[in-house]
Structure 1
Amino acid sequence: MPKRGAAQVRAGATSVRSMILGETPVIEATGINSRRISASIVIARPPEDVWRILTDYDNLAQHVPNLVVSKRLEHPGGGPKIRLFQEGAQKIWGFDFSASLVMDMEEFFGPEQERRRLQRKIRFKLVESMMLARFDGEWAIQPHSRHLAQPTRAAIEAAAARGEPPLKPITQYSTKLIYSVNVTPRGMVPVPAIEWRVREDVPVNLRAVKAAVERLPLRPVEELLAEEEALYTSRLP
């Protein structure tokens, strides 16, 4: 029987990628002891702001409630490669449980002509864990919508009181953030326990990231474009 709060996909059935994802995780059985878990959320900010929060690796624990530690480690390969240590504290079936892992992160950008309407992803791959044999996946950041927003009456009055020029409409963006992970527990760790924990955590984490991004101040389009150009240029070989 399907678990409440999660859509189930049989191994060999229609791929989860072709389904409409939302905050409720979609769980795909990829093997006897393996699962693929995916979910998404819409954030009322441009991709640049979502990227800013997700790549602030040393401060992720401030935004994600079940994450106790998140910090960058020196990568043995050197260069721009990113190695990340994370430790979480949760309850599994009523028991206090903490687990740590080390992951390698890869920041991916699409071709130059597409970089503003984006193929932008953060891929992660497990390096070390006592509990997991596999924990690989990605955060995918996709433009969702764009519209002109009129300034509020309060903002107009505040600007006038400061003697500032009349406020103009600003372009507002929204972004779809998609999270997917392939999980295989190690040794005798039962997959239902890991599946349940990840399934419970994913919506909480997505909403926490959304809240953190939407707390950022709105920025003009010109600033977003300049930031995007600088970021892309810095990644050129």
Structure 2
Amino acid sequence: MTIQNHNPGLDSPNIIRSKDKNALEQNSDGVSIQVEKLSDRQRQITAQVQIHQPVQKVWKILTDYESLVEFIPNLTKSSLIEHPEGGIRLEQIGSQCLLNFKFCARVVLDLEEVFPKLIKFAMVEGDFKGFSGFWRLEPYKLETGEGTDLCYTIRVWPKLTMPIGIVEDRLANDLRSNLLAIRQRASW
């Protein structure tokens, strides 16, 4: 983890914090976000969006892991690395500005793909105490074909040196930005 002094403008997050674990509230951009407090320093954040493209197209975008840096905001590295047991292992680095600081976080994730509906991931090394989650893709009918309900859920447990409130707000905003970027990429 790297923190550098920087002077950005702060964006005000539009995040839903609900006691109802099943409540996802949608913003005007069509992305629903829910933040759930699992414990004092652990959060589960879920984001969901509808994409007017078939599941197979969205799947292809999500699983082209090394191309994610081309369009996902704040993702500066996404590289497949050797997995000791032959699975899928991905190193990612995110970088962004928070409260006058440039913040970088690195994770190495083991992934499990269940085509065409689920991509699970869990951190095996990185700058958090814990980081895991999944992408879930579900088809829905459009008048002219098929769309995809895309859900992205993460469970994060920051180290003590990382303020949980800032991490929670930033990740919730990042999930929104990520889903919007994926929706835009799918429309190409």
TM range (shorter): 0.7 to 0.9
Per the TM alignment, residue 51 of structure 1 is displaced from its structure 2 partner at its CA by: 0.2
User: Who is 2:14 aligned against?
Assistant: 5
Task: Determine if the alignment matches structure 1 residue 19 to structure 2 residue 23.
Answer: yes
Q: Which residue of 2 aligns with 1:179?
A: 152
Alignment size in residue pairs = 173
Indicate conservation of the 8 Å contact 2:15/2:169, yes or no: no
What is the CA-CA distance between 1:147 and the residue it aligns to? 2.1
Q: Give the Cα–Cα distance (whole angstroms) in 1 for the partners of residues 187 and 119 of structure 2.
A: 20
| Mapped pair 1:105 → 2:111 | yes
Distance in 2 (CA, whole Å) between partners of 1:29 and 1:105 is 24
- Mark the CA change 1:4 to 1:197 in structure 2 (over 3 Å): closer, same or farther: closer
Native 8 Å contact 2:45 2:172 kept in 1: yes
Q: 2 CA distance for matches of 1:25 and 1:91?
A: 21
Q: Deviations over 1:24-83 (max 9, x none)?
A: 4211000011111011111110000000000001111012021111010000112xx100
Spell out the pairing of 1:1-237 with structure 2 (5 A cutoff).
Answer: 5-10=14-19, 14-15=20-21, 18-20=22-24, 22=26, 23-78=31-86, 81-109=87-115, 120-130=117-127, 132-148=128-144, 172-215=145-188
For structure 2, the residue ranges without an aligned partner over 5 or more in a row are 1-11
Aligned residue in 1 for 2:6: none
Q: Deviations over 1:80-117 (max 9, x none)?
A: x10000011111123111111100111014xxxxxxxx
Sequence identity, in percent? 32
| Native 8 Å contact 2:93 2:107 kept in 1 | yes
Worse-matched range after superposition: 32-41 or 184-193: 184-193
Structure 2 residue matching 1:25: 3-state secondary structure: strand
Which amino acid in 2 is paired with 1:122?
A: I
User: Contact between 1:9 and 1:29, CA under 8 Å: does it hold in 2?
Assistant: no
Name the CA distance, whole Å, in 2 between partners of 1:41 and 1:94.
Answer: 31
Secondary structure in structure 1 of the residue aligned to 2:160: coil
Q: Please identify which structure carries the higher strand content.
A: 2
TM-score by length of 2: 0.86
Corresponding letter in the other structure for 2:42: S
| C-alpha RMSD over aligned residues | 1.6
Aligned residue identity for 2:72? V
TM-score, normalised via structure 1 length: 0.69
The amino acid that maps onto 1:28 is: E
CA contact (8 A) 1:21 1:39 kept: no
Q: Distance in 2 between matches of 1:4 and 1:200?
A: 6
Residue type matched to 2:101 in 1? F
| More RCO (CA 8 Å, sep 6+) | 2
Q: Which runs of 5+ in 1 are unaligned?
A: 110-117, 149-171, 216-237
Distance 1:74 1:4 in 2: 37
Moved over 6 A (4+): none
